[in-house]
Each structure stands twice: as structure tokens, then as C-alpha cells.
Amino acid sequence: MRLHDYLDKGASLGAERPCLTTDGTTRSYAEVVGLSHEVAAALLGCGVAEGSRVAVLSANDPVAFTCVFGISRAGAVWCPINPRNEAAENRELLELFDTEVVLYQSGFAPLVAAIRDDLPGIHTWVCLDAADQGSLARQEFLDRGAGVDVPERIAPPGPGELAMLVGTGGTTGRPKGVMLTPTNLETMTALTLMGYPFDGPPVYLALAPLTHAAGVLCFPVMSLGGEVVIMRAPDVGGFLRLVQEHGVTHTFLPPTLIYMVLGHPDLDSTDLGSLQCFWFGAAPMSASRLEEALTRIGPVMAQLFGQTEAPMMISMMPPADHLRADGSVATERLTSAGRPAPLVRVAILDEHDRPVRPGERGEICARSSLVMAGYWKDPEETARTLRNGWLHTGDIGFVDEEGFLHIVDRAKDMIITGGFNVYSTEVEQAVLAHEAVQDCAVVGLPDDKWGERVAVVVQPHPGASVDPDDLRSFVKQRIGSVKAPKDVHVWPDLPRSKVGKVLKAEIKTRIVGGAPG
């Protein structure tokens, strides 16, 4: 299965069924398939060859997302570019990927103008929704495909064929390009369909960026002939309204947005009875807030754990696993990331790549057809990460006696204080249990006596206040004095990456440098 095959599979189940809906306008499967053929022909008419890299720079938009299937149909490689990145980072990614064509929305014309002259290898720029000097307008672009035949690609994907080339974000240095194959995404799709509830044609609400998890989750939905409702921008009130209006069955949000849903005044009056599966991931979620979500949103919460190098499904926790046999909430499991996925082998390895004893902590490593082909033009980093046949995730964790995987920290975030290992995730769970705390981040700071000391930055709920001494005492009662934070900083918000992950390196820099939160 190539990317356009998921769309075509959905169309085969009913060409007039709703496919993409945005702002009250619905495009049928037949319409989306037709436009994807036009985009493929236009790309071929612009000189795109099999394996060429074609980037899409856009906010959530049905036309831009349809272009993804046109790229696949032309035999090219989809390069999703995060619209929240700074111009310099996107220029670096486009150059790294040897990009030939960029399709973008007019809202990013200033960014394109800032980087265009530095990217001579890009021979075609296309503005999808307006005229922009130096670029083809959408109709001009589509006219390039007049009379061009789009060959049907019947042969199965070859071993070197790529479906996507995805940037890792660059928060720890130069961005890397993750090479994802059709097999990687087919494995992810199969795991989604076998591991989570799908009762009838799904309706999937995409609020999170389609350049990330929200995008690839569309493929299993389309394979069932489902409808994708696309939100152009985050709006929690609009999210709740659309769930009720469209009978949404599936959706995905990171924990920070779920916290906002739980705090929204319309939550308890909104009919969420259509929901079958509310995925969350990309960051740890507070166990106490997850328990609240299971009560107020419903027993539909579904965790997934993966990374760009093994998309979405290293481990899975469907809604049923959040509950005990008697229907009560399985609170003992809420800090886990579920069980390793059926088509994934997970091992917990020490620093010498040897398996640790059951229940001990080590690096989470995975082996599966889910795992990437490697990093684009970076054989050294590929060899380091795909060592001895295992993907080394960089996450520290353990498997409990029930077989549930627990992620306790990123390896680089572990704090060693007075000779003891302190895992930031464990401390964060304790802090998040405090009723005044909306979000937090735990970091290690240099300390002359202990080597490192535990520090926490907390973001209070709107209108709430946090007393540092009270919070320290609260955490100490739960996890002991060694792990309790010595420093407590109260900030109105936490610094986050373009995909919403907390930037702990920036937090350390601000605190050590004395900068205000």
C-alpha cells in the first residue's frame, strides 16, 4: 500500500461518501481522488520523477492534504514541513531533503520569500490558494498536467522506495530526516485497525497538525471509507461543537490540549456519545487528569507511544485497557504506555545493549517493520540508532508484571542527585496530582553538594496559585524527599516546541541565567 492506495480503498467503498470536510464544506471521495490525479499529472508535468522530494507547507487544509495523495500517485516522496518552524529551520530541512517542489499556502508567502533565494535546487514553487510573485498559482500548476498520463503503479513498493521524509525537529542539534517506507506506514495502519475500536465507518476529527500524528491517522480511517473533519486552527470550543455536530468517532490530541478540553465550560453539556476512541500521545499525561478524562469525556481514552522513527505504535493502550474487569478505572495502569504492539518486539536494554532483568529500567528498544529505513544522508546516526538490529529510542523504561510498558524518562533528562537516579516523569506525575497545577516540567540543575538537584517549573490552572513550600510537602508525601523538588518555579506558561513538547533545555537555560519565566 502506497499513500494514495488508502484514499483509493476508501473510494472503492463508496465514491460519493464524504471524505474531507472543512468549514462546513464536504468533498466526496470521488472529488478528492480526482484532484489527487490532477496534482500527480501536474507534478509529472513539472519534471518530478520517481523518488523526487516534494514538500507541503501548510496549516490544516483539505487541498494541501489532498496534494499528499497526488505526490504519492506521481511516485514522489512527501516531505511534510512544519508551518510553525522558523524560516531558518525550514530552509535547512528543505535543503537537507534535496527538495525539488514546494506546495504552500499564501499565509506562508513571507516565509517562502525569506528562503527562496537560498534554495536554488527547488525548481517549482506553487501557492495553492492565491497568486504569489515567483510561484505558480494553483490553476497554473494544474495546467502543467494537461495531457500528461499518470501511470498506475501496480508493482509493489521496492526496498528503497520512500513514502515520507520527515524532519525530527532539530531541538537537540541539526535536524535529521527520517525515511519512512510504505511498509512502515502499512504496519502502522494495520496496528491501528487491529488494536483500537472501529465500529462502522469512522468520522475522524483532525485538530492537531496534519503534518504530524493527526495526518498519518487519516490513513487507517480512509481505508475504512471514513470521513476526516479538518480543523484549520486549534479551538477547543469548536472541537467540542464538531464532535457533537458530526458524530465524531475518533480523534487525537496531545495532553496539553486535553487539559484545555477538561477545563472548558462546555464540556459537560456537550454530547460526546459518538466517540469510540480518543487517542492521546506525544507527551506523558497526568494520571489524575487521565482518570478525570475517563469519567467526564468517557471510557474512550486510548494511548499510543511511538516516535518519528517508528510512527505511533511501539506500544498501544486501547480504551478497554484503562478499565478493570468490573468496569472501574485501572488506576495502576494509567502511568503506563500500554502493552507493546502485536507486530513490534520491545526489549529493555542496558548501556551495553544487554537485556535487563524483568522490572528493571533500561533503554526502550524496538524491532519491527514499523521502524524507519534510516536517516536521510546520515549513515553514522543511522548506525548508532539502529544498533544490533534494534531501534534505540532514547527513552528509559520498564515492563511491569502485567506486560505494560512504563516510560520513566528520556535518557538525557534523567537526574542524578547524591548518587540516586531520579526520573523526571515520576516527579511530574506527583506534581500534576496537585489540584492547582495545570502542567509542569522537571529538570536537573547543577548543585555543588549533590551534583544535581531536582527543580520543577509549574504552570497553575487559570486563577489558581501555587505555594512552593506547600507543593514541596505535597510531593514529598507521595514520592519521598530525595525525589521531591528542591526548587519550585511558578511560570504562567511553559516554553514549547512547534509541536507542543516542553523544551526542558530552554527551561534550564532560563533558570540558570536568571531569566524570568
pLDDT tens column, 430-465: 899 999 999 999 998 988 777 789 999 999 998 999
d(CA 17, CA 517): 50
At 466 the three-state DSSP class reads coil
d(CA 126, CA 91): 16
- Give yes or no for residue 281 having a pLDDT over 80: yes
C-alpha distances in Å from residue 351, one per residue of 17, 190, 363, 365, 381? 52, 32, 8, 12, 17
When mean pLDDT is compared across 85-99, 343-357, 400-414, the lowest value belongs to 400-414
The pLDDT value given to residue 354:
95
Percent of the chain scoring above 90 in pLDDT = 74
pLDDT band at 340 (very low <50, low <70, confident <90, very high): very high
When mean pLDDT is compared across 31-40, 125-134, 406-415, the lowest value belongs to 406-415
Over residues 134-148, the mean pLDDT reads 96
C-alpha cell at 30: 470521488
- Give yes or no for residue 335 having a pLDDT over 50: yes
pLDDT band at 170 (very low <50, low <70, confident <90, very high): very low
C-alpha cell at 258: 486535553
pLDDT band at 478 (very low <50, low <70, confident <90, very high): confident
- Give yes or no for residue 63 having a pLDDT over 60: yes
Q: Which residues pair with 77 in a beta bridge?
A: 53
Q: Which residues pair with 440 in a beta bridge?
A: 458
- Residue 477 CA, chain-centre distance (Å), reads 34
d(CA 278, CA 286): 16
- Give yes or no for residue 265 having a pLDDT over 80: yes
Over residues 323-349, the mean pLDDT reads 94
pLDDT band at 411 (very low <50, low <70, confident <90, very high): low
Q: Where in the chain is the domain with CATH 3.40.50.12780?
A: 183-410
Over residues 150-170, the mean pLDDT reads 87
pLDDT band at 270 (very low <50, low <70, confident <90, very high): very high
pLDDT band at 171 (very low <50, low <70, confident <90, very high): very low
- Give yes or no for residue 515 having a pLDDT over 70: no
Over residues 181-206, the mean pLDDT reads 97
User: Is residue 90 within 8 Å of 136, Cβ to Cβ?
Assistant: no
The pLDDT value given to residue 498:
62
d(CA 51, CA 54): 9
479 or 23, which is more confident? Answer: 23
User: How many other CB atoms are found less than 10 A from the CB of residue 165?
Assistant: 23
Highest mean pLDDT among 164-173, 193-202, 408-417, 430-439: 193-202
The pLDDT value given to residue 51:
96
pLDDT band at 516 (very low <50, low <70, confident <90, very high): low
pLDDT band at 158 (very low <50, low <70, confident <90, very high): confident
Q: What CATH architecture applies to the domain 183-410?
A: 3-Layer(aba) Sandwich (3.40)
- Give yes or no for residue 204 having a pLDDT over 60: yes
pTM: 0.85
pLDDT band at 384 (very low <50, low <70, confident <90, very high): very high
Q: Which residues pair with 307 in a beta bridge?
A: 310
Cell numbers 470550543 correspond to 237
The pLDDT value given to residue 419:
67
440 or 175, which is more confident? Answer: 440
pLDDT band at 486 (very low <50, low <70, confident <90, very high): very high
- Give yes or no for residue 223 having a pLDDT over 90: yes
Q: What CATH architecture applies to the domain 25-146?
A: 3-Layer(aba) Sandwich (3.40)
What CATH code is assigned to 414-513?
A: 3.30.300.30
Q: Where in the chain is the domain with CATH 3.30.300.30?
A: 414-513
Over residues 256-260, the mean pLDDT reads 87
- Give yes or no for residue 410 having a pLDDT over 80: no
